[in-house]
């Protein structure tokens, strides 16, 4: 059966996530909390996009630091500009942080015209913030550049004037925004190392589809390159280099492929040097057989020694010992889908820092 283990121990080798959220919603609560912004938050969550929204709203005297921290740890920011947005000191403080962090921003003009005059009013409100309260205020030049960017024609399509424009209904515009987010914050690259003839049409196929469904980009070698003497190419090394997580499916005949063994060496090297995540799956094999090169793994090493020499084989053997000592999933009997669900769950969780902000309410159904 699958090794249940501890989620915290899986695929976590000296790796620290960078982000807490995919999207941060910057908005004035009194204007749009229970209408447009609330609907947008729900639409993003429905697509499993991790989104920060301050549900309860800050009141005078409340500490904004936890919210600014969430903003800093978000990949992109959606700013919902509304009629009285600039009257909120908290909203303006978030804009200051956005400018400082150079965040990628999607501005939504909700029933306001993204004209020079509106953007100028935001700029003026920012420059009038008291310096004793906001000592880290950006230079006026940075604020001016940001104002100009807001007023550019490239953002005109994001007006939410429901009675005008291309989209008649708000949900159509909402779908367009969600589509933009999905295209902008797609999840990280995952590399699958496996021997096709053992698992391609079974376990790996289902694992591939499950990860892809969660917006991970999946990379793997060409199935034609699994001859006993095939070696890893520079392009495949580059693919492993840019991957955030490598999943190694160690099956009965895995070690007979020199390409798979080269992948293994490269993956473990990147784990050590680049802090990449590595997750071994012991698919119907014993870790001890891999560690001590017994049974099929011993036969594979003997075959490779004739083809590649003892020095290269020793390097592969060392990598087999190393991977056998890593924590992972041991799958012998039981439901494979349970292991796949577990892998996907932990892969998603490993993308994000733990949520620390106590000011964020849980999602309301």
Number of domains in the chain: 2
Q: Is 339 within the bounds of a domain?
A: no
Same domain, 153 and 211: no
Residue 269 near residue 240, CB atoms below 8 Å? no
Q: Which of 184, 217, 238 is the last residue of a domain?
A: 184
Per-residue buried b or exposed e for 204-236, using 16+ beta carbons within 10 Å of the residue's own CB = beebbebbeeebbebbbbeeeebeeebebeeeb
Tens-place pLDDT, residues 281-309: 999 999 999 999 999 999 999 999 988 99
Q: Is 365 within the bounds of a domain?
A: no
Same domain, 176 and 191: no
Beta-bridged to residue 190, according to DSSP, are: 218, 245
Q: Is 293 within the bounds of a domain?
A: yes
Same domain, 140 and 218: no
Same domain, 107 and 191: no
Domain hosting residue 76, numbered range: 21-184
pLDDT at 111: 80
* Residue whose pair of structure tokens reads 């609560």 in the numeric block: 29
The SS3 of residue 104 is: strand
Q: Is 48 within the bounds of a domain?
A: yes
Same domain, 83 and 119: yes
Residue 98 near residue 74, CB atoms below 8 Å? no
pTM for the whole thing?
0.70
Residue 27 near residue 80, CB atoms below 8 Å? yes
pLDDT at 137: 55
Same domain, 35 and 177: yes
Q: Which of 153, 184, 215 is the last residue of a domain?
A: 184
- We report the CATH number of the domain holding residue 52 as 3.40.50.10140
Question: Using the 8-state DSSP alphabet, how is residue 356 labeled?
Answer: -
Q: Is 350 within the bounds of a domain?
A: no
Distances (CA, A) of 129 to 82, 98, 126, 248: 19, 15, 6, 54
Same domain, 45 and 170: yes
Same domain, 142 and 196: no
The tokens describing 147, both together, are: 């104002």
Same domain, 55 and 179: yes
Q: Is 321 within the bounds of a domain?
A: yes
Give the helix ranges, DSSP H, for the chain. Answer: 29-32, 36-46, 65-72, 89-101, 116-127, 140-151, 170-184, 196-199, 203-213, 234-241, 258-274, 287-291, 295-308, 310-324, 336-349
Q: Is 312 within the bounds of a domain?
A: yes
Same domain, 81 and 113: yes
Same domain, 163 and 196: no
Question: Using the 8-state DSSP alphabet, how is residue 19 labeled?
Answer: B
pLDDT in tens, the chain (365 residues): 444 444 444 545 555 677 899 999 999 999 999 999 999 999 999 988 999 999 876 555 556 788 999 999 999 999 998 888 888 888 888 888 888 888 888 888 888 876 756 677 776 777 676 665 555 555 666 666 666 555 543 444 444 443 344 556 677 778 888 988 988 887 778 999 999 989 988 999 999 999 998 889 999 988 766 665 678 889 999 999 989 899 999 999 999 999 999 999 999 999 988 888 899 999 999 999 999 999 999 999 999 998 899 999 999 999 999 999 998 889 988 889 998 999 998 888 888 876 544 333 333 23
Same domain, 302 and 249: yes
Q: Is 235 within the bounds of a domain?
A: yes
């Amino acid at each position: 059966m699958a090794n249940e283990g501890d989620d915290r121990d899986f695929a976590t080798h000296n790796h620290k996530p960078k982000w807490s959220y995919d999207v941060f919603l910057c908005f004035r609560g009194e204007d749009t909390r229970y209408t447009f912004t609330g609907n947008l938050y729900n639409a993003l969550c429905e697509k499993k996009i991790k989104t920060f929204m301050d549900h309860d709203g800050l009141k005078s005297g409340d500490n904004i630091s936890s919210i600014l921290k969430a903003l800093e740890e978000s990949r992109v920011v959606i700013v919902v500009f509304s009629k009285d947005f600039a009257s909120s000191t908290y909203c303006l403080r978030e804009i200051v942080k956005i400018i400082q962090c150079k965040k990628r921003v999607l501005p939504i003009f909700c029933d306001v015209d993204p004209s020079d005059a509106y953007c100028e009013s935001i700029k003026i409100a920012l420059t009038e913030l008291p310096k004793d309260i906001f000592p880290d205020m950006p230079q006026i030049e940075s604020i001016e550049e940001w104002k100009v960017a807001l007023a550019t024609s490239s953002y005109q399509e994001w007006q939410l004037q429901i009675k005008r424009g291309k989209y008649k209904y708000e949900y159509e515009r909402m779908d367009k925004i969600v589509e933009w987010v999905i295209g902008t914050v797609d999840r990280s690259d995952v590399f699958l190392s496996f021997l096709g003839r053992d698992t391609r049409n079974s376990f790996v196929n289902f694992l591939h589809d499950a990860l892809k469904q969660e917006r991970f980009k999946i990379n793997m070698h060409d199935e034609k390159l699994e001859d006993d003497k095939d070696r890893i190419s520079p392009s495949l090394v580059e693919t492993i280099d840019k991957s955030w997580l490598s999943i190694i499916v160690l099956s009965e005949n895995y070690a007979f492929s020199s390409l798979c063994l080269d992948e293994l060496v490269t993956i473990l090297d990147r784990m050590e040097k680049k802090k990449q995540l590595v997750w071994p799956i012991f698919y119907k094999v014993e870790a001890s057989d891999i560690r001590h090169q017994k049974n099929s793994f011993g036969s594979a090493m003997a075959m490779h020694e004739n083809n590649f020499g003892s020095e290269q084989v020793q390097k592969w053997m060392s990598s087999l010992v190393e991977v056998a000592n890593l924590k992972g999933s041991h799958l012998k009997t039981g439901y494979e889908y349970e292991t796949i669900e577990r892998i996907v769950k932990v892969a998603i969780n490993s993308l994000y820092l733990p949520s620390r902000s106590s000011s964020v309410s849980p999602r309301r159904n």
